[in-house]
Amino acid sequence: MNLTLKIWRQKNGNDSGQFVTYPISDVSADSSFLEMLDLLNEGLMDKGEEPVAFDHDCREGICGMCSMMINGVAHGQDREPVKQITACQLHMRHFKDGETITIEPWRATAFPVLRDLIVDRTPFDHIIQAGGFISVGTGSPPDANSLPISKPVADYSMDAAACIGCGACVAACPNASAMLFTSAKVAHLNSLPQGQPERYQRVVNMVSVMDHEMFGSCTNIGECAAVCPKEISLDFIADMNRDLMMATFKGITPTVSLNGKK
């Protein structure tokens, strides 16, 4: 198939960037979206131009590295019957011959562009560092079966833990809010008995860093869940808000240092 690509090119964080249009031909309908970009890059390099930089790694939809807006949709829009997926799992048979495809990086103040389609997502790591863990050192914890966890609780926790941290939720949100990401981690740990001792301090600390990192507020639009490749549910946001309110009643304040952060 033959396509026209409109791709965001930006040399680095200081460059203002612009769209550049590239025609591309002989794309196999069986190739993945990223393989189509590989083909484009091979052609650009043959002409002595610099290839389009984009993040990718596992190419099987689990590492969360790939991150691009395709025709305005985070990770692009797959067609029925397949569900929402990561960009690396999107295949070219879902596009029409002759189509123009617009490709942009994630757009969010908290995720500055490093080059072309690559953004800096370290603010997600900072949110986890604020409390997205259970404080247990390596050593001799009790036998794993000494703490039974009912199947529905374990399943609920697993639903939340399925998040791959790709950032599509932030990119899709008109407010660039990180609520879906943060709430998934909070729900994963706060729903488990192991997570109870730090439950309220965890949510307060993580939310305070989330706000500090320049993510926007949540206004219940739901764009995040619509593009999430792992089907993280909006329910987790409601749960996190409940824990946050309880923590406020308990008078819990952030203990995390915001120094050195943005």
Partner 1 sequence: MATTVKPGIKPDQLQFKEGTLNANVPDGPIQQKWEKHLFDMKLVNPANKRKFTVIVVGSGLAGGSASATMGELGYNVECFCYQDSPRRAHSVAAQGGINAAKNYQNDGDSVFRLFYDTVKGGDYRSREANVYRLAQVSNNIIDQCAAQGVPFAREYGGMLDNRSFGGAQVSRTFYARGQTGQQLLLGAYQALSRQIAAGKVRMHTRYEMLDLVVINGRARGIITRDMVTGKIERHLADAVVLATGGYGNVFYLSTNAKGCNVTASWRAYKRGAFFANPCYTQIHPTCIPPSGEHQSKLTLMSESLRNDGRIWVPKKKDETRRARDIPESERNYYLEVKYPSFGNLVPRDVASRNAKTVVDEGYGVGEQKNGVYLDFSEAIGRLGKQVVKDRYGNLFDMYTSITGEDPYEVPMRIYPAVHYTMGGLWVDYNLQSTIPGLFVVGEANFSDHGANRLGASALMQGLADGYFVLPYTIGNYLAQAQLDKVDTTHAAFNEAEEEVNNKINRLLSINGKSTVDTLHRELGRVLWDYCGMARNEAGLKKALEMIPQIRQEFWENVNVPGSANDLNQALEKAGRVADFLELGELLCLDALNRSESCGGHFREESQTDEGEALRDDENFSYVAAWQYAGDEATPILNKEPLTFEYVKLTQRSYK
Which of the residues 174 through 193 are near partner 1 (CB under 8 A)? Answer: 188-189, 192
Report which of 42, 45, 39, 41 is spatially closest to residue 26, judged by C-alpha positions: 39
User: For partner 1, which is the closer residue by CB, 86 or 177?
Assistant: 86
Asked if 14 is part of the footprint of partner 1 (rule: CB under 8 A), the reply reads no
CB of 170 to partner 1, least distance (A): 14
DSSP state of 223: H
Asked if 20 is part of the footprint of partner 1 (rule: CB under 8 A), the reply reads no
Site for partner 1 in 212-251 (CB under 8 A): none
Binding mask 41-80 for partner 1 (x = CB under 8 A): -x--xx-xxxx-x-xxxxxxxxxxx------------x--
Q: Which two tokens stand for residue 136?
A: 């247990």
Q: Reduced to 3 states, what is the DSSP secondary structure of residue 207?
A: helix
Among the listed residues 20, 21, 72, 158, the single contact to partner 1 using CB under 8 A: 158
User: For partner 1, which is the closer residue by CB, 9 or 221?
Assistant: 9
Is residue 201 within 8 A of residue 186, CB to CB? The reply is no
User: For partner 1, which is the closer residue by CB, 114 or 221?
Assistant: 114
Report which of 171, 177, 190 is spatially closest to residue 132, judged by C-alpha positions: 190
Is residue 86 within 8 A of residue 60, CB to CB? The reply is no
Give one word for 17, left, alpha or beta, with left for phi > 0 and alpha for psi -120 to 50: left
Asked if 135 is part of the footprint of partner 1 (rule: CB under 8 A), the reply reads yes
Among the listed residues 70, 214, 252, 256, the single contact to partner 1 using CB under 8 A: 256
Tokens 């990180």, located at residue:
178
Q: How many residues bind partner 1 (CB under 8 A)?
A: 83
Among the listed residues 14, 16, 18, 81, the single contact to partner 1 using CB under 8 A: 81
Q: Reduced to 3 states, what is the DSSP secondary structure of residue 22?
A: strand
